[in-house]
Structures are given as structure tokens and as C-alpha cells.
Amino acid sequence: MAFLIEIKVPDVGNVADIDVVDVLVKPGDTVKLEQTLAVLETDKASMDLPASAAGIVQELFIKPGDKVSEGTLVVTLLPSTEAVTQSVVEEGVSMAAQAQPVQQAVAAAPVEAVSVAVDVKTESLVDIDSARAAHATPAVRLFARELGVDVQKITTGSGRKGRILKEDVKNFVKKVMTEGAAQGGSGIPAMPSIDFSQFGETEEQQLSKIKRLTGKNLSRVWLNLPMVTYHDEADITEMEAFRVALNAEKSKDDIKITGLLFIVKALVAAIEQFPQFNSSLSADGEKLIFKKYLNVGIAVDTPNGLVVPVLRDVNRKGINELSAELAEKSNKARLGKLMPADMQGGCITISSLGGIGGTAFTPIVNAPEVAILGVTRAKMQPVWNGKEFVPRLMLPLDLTYDHRVIDGAEGARFMAAVKQYLGDIRRLLL
Ligand code: CAO
């Protein structure tokens, strides 16, 4: 009498009416141990039914579309030495060890059938779309889709027989994020890591928090904004004479008036003529947002790095009031006592290196602002007045702007206005 092995749906954890989405064998097929017989799906997961016995399919009891529960007969197998041997050869020693009890059960059974419950494991989930390729289950695919991951890009899965599990999707995302961060914007290759100690003695120093944050922001702006820097010089001979005279009137304890505040006032007057310099692009790049307030950020060099406190409503304040405000904020900046609110709401920034030197530089726009004015050291220069060379104090100015918002001609006109106000500060009263 031929013995038949009955393979039934095992205990799948109190779930009834499980859908049969695919049946992967037909009568006459030789089934190896662990070969997937069918694919079942609940509303939470998809699972394959691997054969825990080898043999030849005698009869199939399920078809796609059926509903099954624990104990439902799936298939009967005719024991076949060839199938078992094949399983042993192909699956290796561990599989052979699993096959053995089945063989023994078949040999010992005096009756027609031996029931073998199918072992269903979560990690044996298969893809119902392509059960034979069996890379990932629908649940894992859905998870991957939610994260925007193409599962085809995950080349190796850590599940049984290389199947892709949720963990693999998570690891893939981590890897891409890490590489992306190292790679930087626009797919630019990461800088190589170099062991400098091979060339001589070195010492590592942690960057300050400000430097790290500023660095990230500057890189982001550098990569996102098409920036142009326009250079010019303003004749500040009279302005400087006036400033020196004003300071001469002050007592030793009064706050000195710095040339920077005249530049702030000239900038503000020019902005009132060219309001696009007091705007920001909307995040989608479709709209310009014009600001009706006028706050100017001043880049301040501190031991911990660069910070930009904001002078508020500069169009409504006089130079004395602004002098006090700049002194207070730059002191607070150097002592590391600025609050976040002190650095928010800027409309345009001035970066002045004039106290140190320089002839020109290219400052980076403090986005979402659209322009920044760089200032370097004023110096006496011979200037041709039509008849002769005369000594004039010339202040180098560098205007960097976001070219998506400001055209080159607008940038040049704006700078001409700034120069005009600095060249004759009486115009600030007009
Ligand atoms: N030309 C010639 N002399 C200048 C000058 C210029 N453009 N700007 C300043 N000076 C002089 C000042 O008159 C002052 O001279 P006295 O000591 O004789 O009075 C001296 O240089 C020092 O000025 P200061 O830099 O301390 O003061 P400030 O008001 O001009 O600037 C501040 C204030 C806070 C902007 C400045 O101290 C600072 O931190 N600058 C660095 C900003 C920076 O790092 N920018 C780079 C950012 S990277 O994009």
C-alpha cells in the first residue's frame, strides 16, 4: 500500500479564513523539503507554506482564492526517495536532519497517511507578486514604498534564502542617508578622509557648536543659491570726517559712533528704493515675499565662531540709538549671551572685515535673505576728479545677491545708491 503524506495548514495563531493567493505546485511535481507549496495572506502579512516533507504531489486540495484555516489539508505527497535525496543534497546537512523524522514517520506508518503540519515562519514570507523570485512580502514592499524605497535596489535580504525583511529596508534607508550626508548636496562626491599623521604630527580639536551649525547652513546656502558678488568702492571722505567730528564731541564714556552704522543707514535708504532687496523667495520658489519691516543683521566675529545679531527697525532709529544697540549686541555675542530671538528676523546682512583689513571678498548670502553687503578696509587713494588726482578715502564694498531674485543690473543700481548715500550722507535726510 502506498503511504501518503498529508500536509495541512499549521497553527498560524488564531487566524481563520486566510486567503490562498498562490499555489506553486501541481500534481506530479517532485517537491523538495522546505520548497514553498503555496502563498497565504492575511490582512497583516503574507506567508509561504514550505513543505516539511519531500515527495511527489499526489493531490492538491487548495487553489488561489480559497480560504484556509489551521488544519486545512493542503496537499498529499507520495514519499519519494529521489525527492528526499535531492533535498538532502541541495539543502545540506541541516535540512537532511529535518527530513529524517519525516522519512522515519513514513517508514513506520502502517496506515495510508501521515499528517505533517507545515512550519510557517515570519521570516519565510514571500512576495505574492513574484513568488518564485520571492524577494519581499507585500507588507515589506508596502513598508518600503512608504519610505520611498525601491525594494529591487536591496540586493541582499537577511531572511531565509535571502528574502528581504523590514529590517533590511531600514538598514538600506540608514545606509543611503549616511552616504547622502557624507556625499553632500547635488550628489557631489564626499571629501576623502585622509590620515594626516602620515605626514607629521597632528592634533584634533572639536569644532564649536556655532561653527558646526554655521558650516552646515553655509554649505546649504552655497549649494542652493546661485550667487553673484558685485564689487565697488564708495567715497567716504566726508562721511568719515563727520564721524570723527561727532566722536570728538563725545566724552570718554560715551559709545563711539562706528562707520558701520552709516553703512547700515545707507543700506536701508537704498532698500527703500529697491524693495526686492528686502524680500525672500517662498520655499517652492514661485513667490517673492516682501517685508514691510527693516531689520539688519550684523556678522560678529566671536571666539566660538560667527554669529549674526539683528538690529531691529533700523529705518526708525537714529545713529546714536543704533550705536548703543550694536555695542550691546556685539558684546553679548562675544560673551555668548545672545538669545535666539536676537538673531532672528533679519532682512539683509552686513559682514564687515574693515577693522581687520582686506580689499574685497565674497560673502555668502544669509538665506532666506537675498543679499549681503561685505565691507573691507577703507584706504586713501588718488582719485581723478577730471582735473587732477585728489586723495579720497575709498571704502570697498562687496554685494552678494541671490541671482534668482536680483538681476545683475538691479544689483549694480542698488550698489550705486548705497555709494551715493555714503558719498553724501545729507541724502539720507531726503
Ligand atoms: N575701514 C577702515 N577702518 C575700519 C573699517 C573700515 N571699513 N571698519 C572698521 N574700521 C576701524 C574702526 O573705525 C575701528 O577703528 P578705531 O579702533 O580706531 O576706532 C577699528 O577698525 C575696529 O573696528 P571694529 O571692527 O571693532 O568695529 P566695527 O563697528 O567696524 O565692526 C563688528 C563691528 C561687530 C562688525 C566687528 O567688530 C566684527 O566682528 N567684524 C567681523 C565680522 C566678520 O567676521 N565678518 C566675516 C563674516 S564671514 O562672511
* Packing angle of the helix pair 319-334, 259-273 (nearest 10 deg): 110
Please give the grid coordinates belonging to residue 203.
Answer: 592634533
pLDDT tens for each residue of the chain, 430 residues long: 567 899 998 877 777 888 888 888 999 999 988 888 988 877 666 677 888 788 999 999 999 889 998 889 999 999 877 765 564 444 433 333 333 333 333 333 332 333 333 333 333 333 336 333 446 777 788 888 888 888 878 877 887 677 788 888 888 888 777 665 555 556 778 888 999 999 999 999 999 989 999 999 999 999 999 999 999 999 999 999 999 999 999 998 899 999 999 999 999 999 999 999 999 999 899 999 999 999 999 999 999 899 999 999 999 999 999 999 999 999 999 999 999 899 999 999 999 999 999 999 999 999 999 999 999 999 999 999 999 999 999 999 999 999 999 999 999 999 999 999 999 999 999 8
Residue 188 is predicted with a pLDDT of 77
Residue 136 is predicted with a pLDDT of 77
Please give the grid coordinates belonging to residue 47.
Answer: 506567508
Query: Which value, to the nearest 10 degrees, does the dihedral of the CA atoms of residues 357, 246, 265, 398 take?
Result: -20
Please give the grid coordinates belonging to residue 46.
Answer: 503574507
Q: Which of ligand 1's atoms lies nearest the C-alpha of 330? A: 34
Top mutation candidate among 257, 352, 375 for ligand 1, by most atoms within 8 Å of CB = 352
Taking the CA atoms of the chain, what radius of gyration do you get in angstroms?
A: 38
d(CA 166, CA 147): 11
Q: From the centroid of its chain, how far is CA 314?
A: 36
Residue 124 is predicted with a pLDDT of 32
Please tell me the distance between residue 351's alpha carbon and the centre of ligand 1 in angstroms.
9
Please tell me the distance between residue 397's alpha carbon and the centre of ligand 1 in angstroms.
13
**Which residue has the CA at smallest separation from atom 7 of ligand 1?**
354
Q: Which of ligand 1's atoms lies nearest the C-alpha of 364? A: 49
Please tell me the distance between residue 314's alpha carbon and the centre of ligand 1 in angstroms.
19
Q: Which of ligand 1's atoms lies nearest the C-alpha of 302? A: 39
Please tell me the distance between residue 273's alpha carbon and the centre of ligand 1 in angstroms.
27
**For residue 383, which of 423, 415, 413, 349 has the smallest C-alpha distance?**
423
Tell me the domains of the chain and their CATH numbers.
5-108 (2.40.50.100), 126-189 (4.10.320.10), 227-429 (3.30.559.10)
Please tell me the distance between residue 260's alpha carbon and the centre of ligand 1 in angstroms.
7
Top mutation candidate among 221, 233, 260, 310 for ligand 1, by most atoms within 8 Å of CB = 260
- DSSP class of residue 235 equals E
d(CA 353, CA 403): 24
d(CA 138, CA 141): 5
**Which residue has the CA at smallest separation from atom 12 of ligand 1?**
355
Q: From the centroid of its chain, how far is CA 74?
A: 49
**Cβ 230 vs Cβ 401: under 8 Å:** yes
User: Cα–Cα–Cα angle for 190, 180, 141, nearest 5°?
Assistant: 150
Residue 131 corresponds to which amino acid?
Answer: A
Please tell me the distance between residue 254's alpha carbon and the centre of ligand 1 in angstroms.
18
Residue-by-residue DSSP string for 331-381: HHHHTT---GGGG---SEEEEE-TTT--S---PPP-TTSSEEEEE---EEE
Please give the grid coordinates belonging to residue 54.
Answer: 519531500
Which one from 403, 404, 410, 423 is the annotated catalytic residue?
403
Q: Which of ligand 1's atoms lies nearest the C-alpha of 377? A: 1
Place of cell 532709529: 317
Place of cell 551649525: 213
Q: Which of ligand 1's atoms lies nearest the C-alpha of 299? A: 42
**Which residue has the CA at smallest separation from atom 18 of ligand 1?**
355
Please tell me the distance between residue 56's alpha carbon and the centre of ligand 1 in angstroms.
90
Q: Is the bond into 368 cis (omega within 30 degrees of 0)?
A: yes
**Which residue has the CA at smallest separation from atom 14 of ligand 1?**
355
**Which residue has the CA at smallest separation from atom 5 of ligand 1?**
354
Q: Which of ligand 1's atoms lies nearest the C-alpha of 298? A: 35
Pairing, β 300-302 against β 46-50 = unpaired
**For residue 375, which of 429, 339, 323, 419 has the smallest C-alpha distance?**
419
**Cβ 47 vs Cβ 27: under 8 Å:** no
Please tell me the distance between residue 353's alpha carbon and the centre of ligand 1 in angstroms.
6
Residue 120 is predicted with a pLDDT of 38
**For residue 90, which of 54, 115, 48, 130 has the smallest C-alpha distance?**
54
Pairing, β 36-41 against β 389-402 = unpaired
d(CA 405, CA 370): 7
**Which residue has the CA at smallest separation from atom 46 of ligand 1?**
351
**Which residue has the CA at smallest separation from atom 49 of ligand 1?**
363
d(CA 370, CA 400): 8
Top mutation candidate among 258, 301, 343, 394 for ligand 1, by most atoms within 8 Å of CB = 258
To the query of whether residue 403 is one of the catalytic residues in this protein, the response is: yes
Backbone angles phi, psi at 113, to 5 degrees: -130, 145
**Which residue has the CA at smallest separation from atom 32 of ligand 1?**
300
> Which protein residues touch ligand 1 with a CB less than 6 Å away?
258-260, 298-301, 306, 330, 351-355, 363, 375, 377-378, 395
Residue 301 corresponds to which amino acid?
Answer: D
